[in-house]
Amino acid sequence: MSAAPRLVLATHNAHKIAELRAILVPALPGLLPEQVVGARDLGAPEPVEDGLTFVENALLKARALAAATGLPAVADDSGLSVDVLGGAPGIFSARWSGRHGDDAANLALLLAQLSDIRDPHRGARFVCAAALVTPDGFEHVETGELVGTLATEPRGTHGFGYDPVLVPAGERRTCAELTSHEKHAISHRGQAFRALTPVVVRVLHG
């Protein structure tokens, strides 16, 4: 018989689940990798993401998941925030072209919109909010940012989303030209999850 799940993640992305397992399992004696599970494994429904900020969306996803499963739940919301667009695409990053999850269309649209904008006005940042919510109502959110500038053409094959156009400050490569290891070391998501990890450990340990 397998060990009972102890933490549920609001994602269906196997890579994200593996990533959080890799952070949490070494940090928490007695936690088995298979005790960190995805929402789909528990049959949890997907909530409507109708928040107006990354933090609101991360919290509402984690709250819904904790309520549906009775387990501590971790959720994140992230996206690209472009200076001359006043922070947009922001929470609309994944559906910027109107087609949800169509990375190529979203990225092509953004580059077309900004085609007349030159350096030094192409500043942008990736933002991530990561939330932990427990069934008894404990809530904690951490955020991370990766500041950079937008390239005029996509470059690189790693990563996903807007990675091929964001050049981190101090770098010449786009996020899609960094190795996975390099990217996680500086990324918005890496920062937010590293900050959230000790809080998750305390909750699971208690």
Distances (CA, A) of 100 to 26, 92, 103, 169, 199: 35, 9, 8, 28, 32
* 190 contact partners, CB below 8 Å, separation of at least 6: 144, 183, 184
Regarding 119 and contact with a second copy (CB under 8 A), the answer is: no
Regarding 85 and contact with a second copy (CB under 8 A), the answer is: yes
Q: Binding residues for a second copy, how many (CB under 8 A)?
A: 27
Q: CB-side exposure of 205: number of CA atoms within 13 Å?
A: 11
Sheet of 36-38: strand order equals 36-38, 7-9, 73-82, 123-133, 139-150, 166-168
- Residue of 35, 69, 78, 97 interacting with a second copy (CB under 8 A): 97
- Residue of 15, 29, 118, 119 interacting with a second copy (CB under 8 A): 118
- Residue of 16, 40, 95, 173 interacting with a second copy (CB under 8 A): 95
Nearer to a second copy, 12 or 121 (CB): 121
Nearer to a second copy, 57 or 191 (CB): 57
CA distance 19 to 34: 13
Regarding 194 and contact with a second copy (CB under 8 A), the answer is: no
Residues numbered 17-76 forming contacts with a second copy, rule: CB under 8 A? 48-50, 52
Q: CB-side exposure of 70: number of CA atoms within 13 Å?
A: 2
- Would strands 139-150 and 166-168 be described as parallel, antiparallel, or unpaired? antiparallel
- Measured from the CB of residue 102, what is the shortest distance to a second copy in angstroms? 11
- Residue of 92, 135, 184, 199 interacting with a second copy (CB under 8 A): 92
What are the DSSP E strand ranges found in 46-199? 73-82, 123-133, 139-150, 166-168
- Residue of 108, 147, 199, 203 interacting with a second copy (CB under 8 A): 108
Regarding 15 and contact with a second copy (CB under 8 A), the answer is: no
CA distance 172 to 110: 20
Regarding 117 and contact with a second copy (CB under 8 A), the answer is: yes
Q: Is the dihedral of CA 69, 189, 51, 105 positive or negative?
A: negative
Catalytic residue among 41, 50, 76, 77: 77
Regarding 90 and contact with a second copy (CB under 8 A), the answer is: yes
In the annotation, is 116 catalytic? no
Contact residues toward a second copy (CB under 8 A) are 48-50, 52, 84-88, 90-92, 95-99, 108-109, 112-118, 121
Catalytic residues: 77
